[in-house]
Amino acid sequence: MAQAPDTPLAPGALEHELEQADSRSRWLLSLPAIVIITLFATAPLLVMVLYSFLTPGDYGNVIWKFSTEGWTNVLMQRDIFDDTLIWADAHLSIFWRSVKLSLITTLLTLIFGLPTAWFVATRPKGQRELWLFLVTVPFWTNLLVRTIAIQELIRAEGVINNVLIFLHIIDEPIQMMFTDFAIGFGMTYVYLPLMVLPVYAAVEKLDFRLVEAAHDLYASRWTAFRRIILPMIKPGIIAGSILVFIPCLGAYVTPRVLGGGKNLMFGNLIELQFGAGRNWPLGAALSFTLMAIVMVALVYYVRLTSREEKTDV
């Protein structure tokens, strides 16, 4: 009996099968990385979620008893006399200081970073690498060392006060250390490169012929900047703002060194709960509160950029 010939494949079926085989092989190759990420990234987060719903121990650690007190204490606290819930003024003050200083730092890095990025992007191509190298050099130094360098500038016997006294502008040193100004000043210096690099990438892609055309049509420099340059480099500005704002919210070293013990920020408050406060559930709840704020900022950035891409199309 003769064997029936093989059924011919439909058009495109072979390509589809090859794509599926390639996709399966990629998943198998990436499986070790997925397992590592799950174990070393997701697992600690799950532990923190679990801790946030437990009861704090007397000397740190947790008691394996379900409780929502950690999440309640993020914004509320119990009165020591009648055990009623009242607003946690200290936490709210630290939340506000963190958001305020993060926004101010983002604005200051934009004010100083935009001209810097413009200067670097408008240099001859052979010189841009050198200027970018100088911008990124501070990242080669430990964050604590950079923060102490800022401390040497603004302390009572620091460089700034000595220069002002030498020039007879002031008679006695200005108290700048352990203030919100010191924290904002330090974070602006630390995170400035994170604003410069994305803005530089956007300015470098700018078509300067459009700017020349605007000048040919008698547009002022401000009009050309507002109507031509700013809309085209806006993605870089948004990316730089996100890169600066997010780490500022969770900053720990700079506020700890320059702000002292009385000017805490979100990161310092979290560390305090796991350290001297001995309230691990509250520290875990605060950590996830910070994570939620960061996620909101990232979702806003993604939606904003996707909306602009649709508009461009």
pLDDT in single tens digits along all 313 residues of the chain: 445 555 555 556 667 777 777 778 888 888 888 888 888 888 888 999 999 999 998 888 899 999 999 999 999 988 878 778 889 898 999 999 999 999 999 999 999 999 999 999 999 888 999 999 999 988 888 899 999 999 999 998 999 999 999 999 988 999 999 999 999 999 999 999 999 999 999 999 888 888 889 888 888 888 988 888 998 999 899 899 999 999 999 999 999 999 887 788 999 999 999 988 889 999 999 999 999 988 888 888 778 777 766 665 5
Asked if residue 7 belongs to a domain, the reply is: no
Contact 189, 222 (CB under 8 A): no
List residues bridging with 233 in a β-sheet. Answer: none
Asked if residue 95 belongs to a domain, the reply is: yes
Asked if residue 48 belongs to a domain, the reply is: yes
pLDDT of residue 130: 92
Instruction: Say yes or no: 190 and 60 in one domain.
Output: no
Residue 221 sits in a domain whose CATH number is: 1.10.3720.10
Please report the beta strands in 177-248, taking only residues with DSSP state E, as ranges in sequence order.
none
Would you say the C-alpha torsion 100, 104, 107, 110 has a positive or negative sign? Answer: negative
Comparing CA positions, the residue from 258, 288, 48, 2 lying closest to residue 150 is: 258
pLDDT of residue 308: 64
Give the domain-ending residue among 85, 104, 133. Answer: 85
Instruction: Say yes or no: 57 and 72 in one domain.
Output: yes
pLDDT of residue 83: 79
Instruction: Say yes or no: 64 and 165 in one domain.
Output: no
Domain residue limits at 60: 18-85
The residue count of the chain comes to: 313
DSSP code, position 60: B
How many other β-carbons are positioned within 10 Å of the β-carbon of residue 73? Answer: 20
Asked if residue 6 belongs to a domain, the reply is: no
Greatest distance between any 2 Cα atoms in the chain: 112
pLDDT of residue 38: 81
The gap from C-alpha 70 to its chain's centroid, in whole angstroms, comes to 25
pLDDT of residue 28: 85
Asked if residue 12 belongs to a domain, the reply is: no
Amino acid at 86: I
List residues bridging with 56 in a β-sheet. Answer: 62
Instruction: Say yes or no: 76 and 190 in one domain.
Output: no
DSSP code, position 6: P
Which residues 6+ apart lie within 8 Å of 51 measured at CB? 62, 70, 280, 281, 284
Contact 109, 239 (CB under 8 A): no
Asked if residue 11 belongs to a domain, the reply is: no
Rounded distance between C-alpha atoms, residue 251 and residue 108, angstroms:
16
Instruction: Say yes or no: 100 and 71 in one domain.
Output: no
Which residues 6+ apart lie within 8 Å of 153 measured at CB? 159, 160
Give the domain-ending residue among 48, 63, 85. Answer: 85
Instruction: Say yes or no: 77 and 96 in one domain.
Output: no
Asked if residue 239 belongs to a domain, the reply is: yes
Asked if residue 170 belongs to a domain, the reply is: yes
Angstrom CA distances, 196 to 17, 110, 117, 247, stand at: 46, 8, 5, 15
Give the domain-ending residue among 67, 85, 103. Answer: 85
Question: Angle at which helices 280-312 and 43-52 pack, to 10 degrees?
Answer: 120
Instruction: Say yes or no: 167 and 204 in one domain.
Output: yes
Cα 59–Cα 65–Cα 70 angle in degrees, nearest 5: 70
Instruction: Say yes or no: 67 and 184 in one domain.
Output: no
Domain count, the chain: 2
pLDDT of residue 192: 94
Instruction: Say yes or no: 177 and 298 in one domain.
Output: yes
Contact 183, 259 (CB under 8 A): yes
Please report the beta strands in the chain, taking only residues with DSSP state E, as ranges in sequence order.
55-56, 62-63, 76-78, 85-87
pLDDT of residue 106: 95
Q: Which pTM value belongs to this model?
A: 0.83
Instruction: Say yes or no: 224 and 175 in one domain.
Output: yes
Instruction: Say yes or no: 178 and 133 in one domain.
Output: yes
Instruction: Say yes or no: 30 and 138 in one domain.
Output: no
pLDDT of residue 43: 86
Tokens encoding 241:
């703002």
